[in-house]
Chains A and B, each alone.
Chain A
Amino acid sequence: SAVISQKPSRDICQRGTSLTIQCQVDSQVTMMFWYRQQPGQSLTLIATANQGSEATYESGFVIDKFPISRPNLTFSTLTVSNMSPEDSSIYLCSVGTTDTQYFGPGTRLTVL
């Protein structure tokens, strides 16, 4: 398994601002993913973070709203841009082998 850390663990932000969430893994991994989990809900995949190329976004998520960087095989960032209260969620990164995914502890975001 991989040890995954996320920063910040939680934040309270004002409407219209942006927040960048960092995900660090203790080993090189091919696949990294970003998820959103709204309170009491399941996990929804935002995008696959590809190293050296643009992220692949799922239906309903766009790069302008959720820009993602993946500069190397151990690190990725997700930015939540121009935030609104509807963006209040837990944001999780995960790393994958060919079958298994391991999740970070999550970033709890509250937008006022």
Chain B
Amino acid sequence: QQQVKQSPQSLIVQKGGISIINCAYENTAFDYFPWYQQFPGKGPALLIAIRPDVSEKKEGRFTISFNKSAKQFSLHIMDSQPGDSATYFCAASMTSGTYKYIFGTGTRLKVLA
């Protein structure tokens, strides 16, 4: 019940295309869903996050879509660029509890020039 399932494991997108990464969770007590971007040799960096009281959040080219009834959320990267090539992790946490994150398995994105 604590798992966060992430797909796909890897993704190749043409420059200018849309990259879509999906995550699903089971524990309905989760109330905070961040996405992290990690470049090789670096720590994960917070990209965007959402709470279940909204269905969508957009920041620049990055959008989170959230479906509370399906217990799913996804990251959309519009106009994907080669500089977006990185590993992306979704996570879930309970902010009223221990604040621990449960991470997805990661998606390695490659954007072709």
B62: Cβ under 8 A from any A Cβ:
no
Contact with A along B72-101 (1 / 0, CB 8 A): 000000000000000001000101001111
Given known contacts A43-B103, A48-B98, A103 and B89 CB-to-CB distance under 8 angstroms: no
B42: Cβ under 8 A from any A Cβ:
yes
A43 and B44 within 8 A (CB): yes
Name the B residues within 8 Å of A13 (CB-CB): none
Binding site for B on A (CB under 8 A): 1, 4, 31, 33, 41-45, 48, 56, 92, 94, 96, 98-106, 108
Binding site for A on B (CB under 8 A): 32, 34, 36, 41-46, 49, 89, 93, 95, 98-101, 103-106
Question: Cα distance A105–B36 when bound, in Å?
Answer: 13
Cβ of A12 to closest chain B Cβ, rounded Å: 16
A103 and B44 within 8 A (CB): yes
B104 and A42 within 8 A (CB): yes
Cβ of B40 to closest chain A Cβ, rounded Å: 10
A106 and B42 within 8 A (CB): yes
A42 and B105 within 8 A (CB): yes
Known A1-B46, A43-B44, A101-B46; 10 more pairs at CB < 8 Å: A31-B99, A42-B105, A43-B103, A44-B103, A45-B101, A94-B43, A98-B95, A100-B46, A101-B99, A106-B43
